[in-house]
């Protein structure tokens, strides 16, 4: 995305300039979709049973509980517009701000006796009405220089 940021028009520029660049962000779209799968904005536990998994030809284990569906009868009609809105918001925010996790600071202020990492990740999902990163994802946001 960084290579496209200089090409984008300034905030508040007349509409239409640079809109085709949003379609040149395949990794950004993949990251958005993966983030929505990992941290859904609403509880989307569909089908499947806890403890039941599918194993593919490579031996990878996939849980059937909580599967996020992008196509088919459960597909959201407003998905295309919502994805466009998220891409625009993400690109504009990435142009202006740097976001860094602050789990080290959080852990120093709030020592935990429980699990701190899941699959090597500190920002693992917790279920609280929907998927949320543990401890609300403490972070530091700074304006890009």
Q: Could you tell me which residues come within 8 angstroms of residue 11 by beta carbon, excluding any fewer than 6 positions away?
A: 92, 96
Is the confidence at residue 105, as pLDDT, over 90? yes
Looking at the DSSP bridge assignments, the partners of residue 133 are: 125
**Tokens 């949003």 correspond to what residue?**
22
Q: pLDDT at position 101, please? A: 92
Q: pLDDT at position 139, please? A: 93
**Confidence band for 100, pLDDT divided at 50, 70 and 90:** very high
Residue 123 token pair: 């920002």
Q: pLDDT at position 55, please? A: 76
The pTM (predicted TM-score) of the whole model is 0.54
Which tens digits make up the pLDDT trace of 36-86? 777 766 655 455 566 677 777 888 776 665 554 555 555 667 778 888 888
Is the confidence at residue 123, as pLDDT, over 80? yes
How many domains does the structure of the chain reveal? 1
Provide the domain limits for residue 23: 5-143
* CA distances, 3 to each of 6, 7, 20, 95 (Å): 7, 8, 15, 11
Positive or negative, the Cα torsion across 18, 20, 22, 25?
Answer: negative
């Amino acid at each position: 995305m960084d290579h496209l940021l200089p090409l984008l028009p300034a905030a508040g520029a007349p509409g239409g300039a640079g809109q085709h660049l949003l379609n040149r962000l395949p990794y950004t779209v993949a990251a958005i979709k993966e983030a929505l799968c990992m941290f859904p904005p609403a509880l989307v536990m569909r089908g499947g049973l806890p403890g039941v998994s599918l194993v593919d030809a490579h031996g990878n284990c996939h849980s059937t509980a909580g599967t996020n569906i992008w196509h088919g009868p459960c597909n959201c009609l407003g998905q295309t517009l919502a994805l466009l809105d998220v891409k625009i918001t993400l690109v504009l925010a990435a142009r202006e701000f740097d976001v860094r996790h602050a789990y080290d600071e959080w852990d120093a202020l709030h020592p935990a006796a429980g699990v701190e990492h899941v699959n090597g990740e500190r920002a693992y999902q917790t279920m609280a009405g929907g998927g949320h990163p543990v401890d609300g994802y403490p972070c530091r946001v700074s304006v890009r220089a």
